[in-house]
Amino acid sequence: MSRPFIAGSLALLAACGSEPQTSELNAPQPLPRTAPSGLDIVRLTIATGTRSHAFMVEVARTEEQQARGLMGRRELGGEAGMLFPFDPPRGASFWMHDTLIPLDMLFIRPDGTIARIATGQPLSDEQIVVEEALTAVLELRGGRAAELGIRPGDRVSWTD
């Protein structure tokens, strides 16, 4: 082989190296799918009239995960939360025992609408009960629903 061919081949290989292309640098990075707690994270949206609010929430799927919930947590971000899905839909009873921060609880019907919003106080053993069939309960930082104007009847959706 001649030297110009080798030099040209090396230049071509260098141009095809592993450096990211400009479009790759600008591409959105995938969101984490697992929280430090080990729970899955999903994107959830609440539609309130003409506005919508996006959250990244942990999903408590098992009975054990749902029993633990947000107990022991010292903070919860404004766009964070925890989703408790039910399959099949059923009534729900929540309390704040060993939960250190106030939480808004949004009780979600199978059609995706919010049936009730309740605020739980830290360390309270008071039962917050909804007997209506629910497909999920969403917990947000206490007061967040009011800050965003979220009300019963608003629609909640998530991808799982």
- What is the secondary structure of 93-123 as a DSSP string? EE--TT--S-EEEEEE-TTSBEEEEEEEPTT
pLDDT score recorded for residue 3: 45
pLDDT score recorded for residue 2: 46
Q: Is the pLDDT of residue 21 over 50?
A: no
Does residue 5 sit within a domain? no
Does residue 14 sit within a domain? no
Does residue 7 sit within a domain? no
- In angstroms, the CA 54 to CA 12 distance is 45
Average pLDDT score over the chain: 86
* pLDDT tens track for 138-148: 999 999 999 99
pLDDT band at 8 (very low <50, low <70, confident <90, very high): very low
Q: How many structural domains comprise the chain?
A: 1
Does residue 11 sit within a domain? no
- In angstroms, the CA 26 to CA 43 distance is 21
| Mean per-residue pLDDT, 111-124 | 97
| Mean per-residue pLDDT, 118-128 | 96
**What CATH number corresponds to the domain at position 128?**
2.60.120.1140
Which region holds residue 123: left if phi is over 0, alpha if psi is between -120 and 50, else beta? left
Tokens of 78: 């404004």
* pLDDT tens track for 22-80: 445 555 555 568 888 899 999 999 999 899 999 999 999 999 999 999 999 999 999 99
Give CA separation, 118 vs 22, 34, 105, in Å.
48, 27, 5
pLDDT score recorded for residue 32: 61
Write the DSSP symbol of residue 34. Answer: B
Between 25 and 156, name the one with better pLDDT: 156
Whether this model's pTM surpasses 0.75: yes
Give me the domain span that covers residue 123.
27-158
pLDDT score recorded for residue 97: 92
Write the DSSP symbol of residue 50. Answer: T
Does residue 107 sit within a domain? yes
- For the beta carbon of residue 96, count every other beta carbon within 10 angstroms: 24
